[in-house]
Chains A and B, each alone.
Chain A
């Protein structure tokens, strides 16, 4: 669409509030972050140190591990959480008896404070009095009687990422809403052709909600790239930095007054996020359903 000359003024006027707010709350902080990442700012004094913060970060095992863990979170969300949400959405889209109950139950974690959920799961995983160990012990797996799920290097990440699967409800609801907009004509035609329910799900519903599925993957990756509260509250990045993630790492740098290095980690996180989104856009190019 070509913009006429006399419309430019109006156009600028209408986008000005958004543009000003975006510049004020996104662009300027990012520029400030970038500038401070080249200093040794400790909240009081700052000196220019060039790329020293970046070099030190990439030489730190715990920082590299934080990036790796964030990628694990993103991959798990994209390959397990969202597809699981799709499967549940497909099942619930049949509107079988009690589907609303399941939908509500699966969505409940979204409306509960994440801090409360983190504390709840920390109690479930507790080695001494946790529910999980109690169940495992009672079904004969006594080796796990006092297993410290969140305090063991082999199981801490799995326990954290595993419990995040309870957030499948968020993506399920988005995809379920999309299934409601699919025309019944497709299913009637398929019924006449003698298609089974599974065939309808896989050959009609799934392809027609593909764009929403891809949107969910992008959302899941964004959410998990900025993962903070569960890791911070349940393990604080431990044991031995094994569950460290980028935002917790940045938080730790800020709390020890290394704001310059924290800024550098923030810049790396923004760059990583941008790269991941560009990559996903290339991978998930799809036709939209009309």
Chain B
């Protein structure tokens, strides 16, 4: 009996010893990153490579683990809930609409002290880029990805409809849509599913064109909001039958398969014209500034865009883990790494990076567009300053498209959501 007890005790002792030894030996810091740059996202490959390289260089001391989040909306919703509960991940990719909430929560790591202690970020960011991202001296998120959303159009479809140039005003644009439709194709890719992303970009363009780049400071009573909805109402006469309820995959899929002639999205979509588009699509794509509304307060060639994703980290109690996170964030902002990301995906970044000379033609055209643009106005989702109003937009748009409300009624729906 005693022998049996001793045997069992020795087994327990050995098991405990192994556990203690292994926990002491594995002083490796694990950083979790719920990332949206996975799956079909154009940055997936290079982000994966950068993480692997970082993990290899820091083997045994730091390990970055990615939690794949393929749905951008669900990711933002999850993050919203995590901000409320205070249970933030180690690293996160934050959209512009959540920056204010993240800062107010006080649960994000303040990156400002790390800017002062190491010249890296001051060296790689343009002057004032970091300072302007601070609130009350606190940097809750590192500005990272930039975007503009010009029109991309299929030159072949437009040529078949008799157009060599993309129209610069909405009167001519809708005439062109009429011609495209008569030719058996669909003019625009639209969507009201999820956050209504691609349609929201069109609305933002029309809004800035009607009310000027500072439209969001003028309030929802400004007539530009109604005028922009009038444009959208017409736009939905020239779109696919599944646009109401469609998500970005459906909206983009139509353009990638040459079912629609005109599409609007950010530069990160450039790589997908080649990877997911039908053969030869990329060569047929043209880039143009959005059309203007006659008599509007905007200027020709005006773009919409701004800060897209920022990198943030949850507040840490362990200084070693904080250092490890900062080290990884610095790795992501090394100009060479940023250039690799930009080159492979077409995405634009705030970090000063020497881009290769053979960057994608569309990327160069978009960059040129920004340089020539009189302004880059915020998109509706970020500029309106209310998550509730931004979230009501797809419902207001679908009500408008279905003839359930007038443009004035659609604005009322937005006001009602406040």
Task: Give the B-binding residues of A (Cβ under 8 A).
Answer: 42-45, 60-62, 126-128, 146-148, 150-153, 156, 235-242, 252, 254-259
Q: Which residue of A lies closest to B79 (CB)?
A: A255
CB of B190, distance to nearest CB on chain A (Å): 11
**B386: which A residues are within 8 A, CB to CB?**
256
CB within 8 A of A43: which of B76, B84, B244, B245?
A: B84
How many A-B pairs have beta carbons closer than 8 Å: the answer is: 99
- In the complex, B101 has a CB within 8 A of chain A: yes
CB within 8 A of B83: which of A43, A45, A128, A242?
A: A43
CA distance A151 to B244 in the complex (A): 5
12 examples of A-B residue contacts, CB within 8 angstroms = A42-B101, A127-B241, A128-B241, A146-B242, A148-B244, A151-B246, A235-B245, A239-B192, A241-B399, A255-B77, A257-B387, A259-B84
Check if B391 sits within 8 Å of A238, measured CB to CB: no
CB of B254, distance to nearest CB on chain A (Å): 8
Check if B194 sits within 8 Å of A236, measured CB to CB: yes
Give the total of B residues in contact with A, Cβ under 8 Å: 36
With A60-B416, A151-B244 given, is the CB distance from A240 to B101 under 8 Å?
A: no
Q: Which residue of B lies closest to A61 (CB)?
A: B416
Q: Which residue of B lies closest to A45 (CB)?
A: B104
- In the complex, B193 has a CB within 8 A of chain A: yes
**A62: which B residues are within 8 A, CB to CB?**
395
- In the complex, B388 has a CB within 8 A of chain A: yes
Check if A151 sits within 8 Å of B192, measured CB to CB: yes
Check if B104 sits within 8 Å of A44, measured CB to CB: yes
- In the complex, B398 has a CB within 8 A of chain A: yes
Check if B402 sits within 8 Å of A255, measured CB to CB: no
Chain B interface main SS type? helix
**CB neighbors of A among B304-360 (8 A):** none
For B371-409 the 0/1 string (1 means CB < 8 A from A) is 000000000000000111011001110110110110000
Task: Give the A-binding residues of B (Cβ under 8 A).
Answer: 76-77, 80-81, 83-85, 101, 104-106, 192-194, 240-246, 386-388, 390-391, 394-396, 398-399, 401-402, 404-405, 416
Check if B398 sits within 8 Å of A151, measured CB to CB: yes
Q: Which residue of B lies closest to A238 (CB)?
A: B398
CB of A104, distance to nearest CB on chain B (Å): 33
Of all A-B residue pairs in the complex, the 4 with the closest CB atoms, nearest first, are A43-B84, A151-B244, A240-B399, A239-B398
CA distance A67 to B243 in the complex (A): 27
CA distance A43 to B80 in the complex (A): 9
CA distance A155 to B267 in the complex (A): 37
Check if A256 sits within 8 Å of B241, measured CB to CB: no
CA distance A227 to B134 in the complex (A): 42
CA distance A238 to B397 in the complex (A): 10
Check if A44 sits within 8 Å of B391, measured CB to CB: no
If A42-B101, A151-B242, A239-B404 are given as contacts, then 17 extra A-B residue pairs at C-beta distance below 8 Å, sorted by A number, are: A43-B80, A43-B101, A43-B105, A148-B242, A151-B243, A151-B245, A153-B402, A156-B245, A239-B192, A239-B398, A255-B76, A255-B80, A256-B80, A256-B386, A256-B391, A257-B101, A258-B388
**B241: which A residues are within 8 A, CB to CB?**
127-128, 146-148
Q: Which residue of B lies closest to A252 (CB)?
A: B391
CB of A207, distance to nearest CB on chain B (Å): 45
CB within 8 A of A128: which of B80, B242, B405?
A: B242
CB of B185, distance to nearest CB on chain A (Å): 14
Check if B404 sits within 8 Å of A127, measured CB to CB: no
CB of A176, distance to nearest CB on chain B (Å): 37
Check if A237 sits within 8 Å of B398, measured CB to CB: no
**B80: which A residues are within 8 A, CB to CB?**
43, 254-257
CB of A7, distance to nearest CB on chain B (Å): 40
CA distance A143 to B101 in the complex (A): 48
With A236-B193, A238-B398, A240-B405 given, is the CB distance from A148 to B245 under 8 Å?
A: yes
**B84: which A residues are within 8 A, CB to CB?**
43-44, 254, 257, 259
**A126: which B residues are within 8 A, CB to CB?**
242
Check if B242 sits within 8 Å of A238, measured CB to CB: no
**B396: which A residues are within 8 A, CB to CB?**
240
CB of A121, distance to nearest CB on chain B (Å): 13
**B242: which A residues are within 8 A, CB to CB?**
126-128, 146, 148, 151
**A241: which B residues are within 8 A, CB to CB?**
395, 399
**B194: which A residues are within 8 A, CB to CB?**
236
